[in-house]
């Protein structure tokens, strides 16, 4: 997969590329057919993951909005220490509910 994130929040990509969109808010689910990456400090603060674990309810609600738009999502944050197992389990449960492709 070739990704494209020129200017962090692109709305188009060259042929053969997928938009990698760095959302700055839970209100922004990215342009259609993009992959939303949660590495913006404001978005991380809204999801409770600014140097802490994700807030599971908020993060799953946001992931559902992103997925409903037809986009993918990459959860990324700056936590130091052990992995955030609660959000990993919650994302696993969310994936089980998605239609098979």
Give residue-wise pLDDT tens across range 42-86: 999 999 998 889 999 999 999 999 999 999 999 987 766 788 899
H or E stretch including 2? strand 2-4
Nearest 5°: the CA angle 77, 82, 85 is: 75
Can you tell me the distance from the alpha carbon of 81 to that of 26, in angstroms, rounded to the nearest whole number? Answer: 25
End-to-end CA distance of the chain: 17
Extents of the domains making up the chain? 1-6+16-25+36-79
pLDDT score for 8: 80
Give residue-wise pLDDT tens across range 1-53: 899 988 888 889 999 999 999 999 999 999 999 999 999 999 999 999 988 89
Instruction: Report whether 78 contacts 50 (CB < 8 A).
Output: yes
Statement: the pTM of the whole predicted model exceeds 0.85: yes
Residue written as token pair 């992959």: 35
């Amino acid at each position: 997969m070739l990704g494209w994130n020129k200017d962090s929040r692109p709305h188009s990509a060259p042929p053969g590329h997928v938009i990698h969109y760095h959302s700055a808010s839970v209100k922004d689910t990215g342009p259609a057919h993009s992959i939303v990456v949660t590495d913006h400090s404001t978005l991380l603060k809204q999801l409770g993951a600014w140097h802490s674990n994700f807030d599971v309810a908020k993060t799953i609600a946001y992931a559902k909005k992103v997925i409903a738009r037809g986009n993918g999502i990459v959860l990324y944050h700056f936590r130091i220490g052990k992995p955030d197992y609660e959000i990993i389990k919650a994302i696993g449960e969310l994936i089980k509910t998605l239609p098979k492709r």
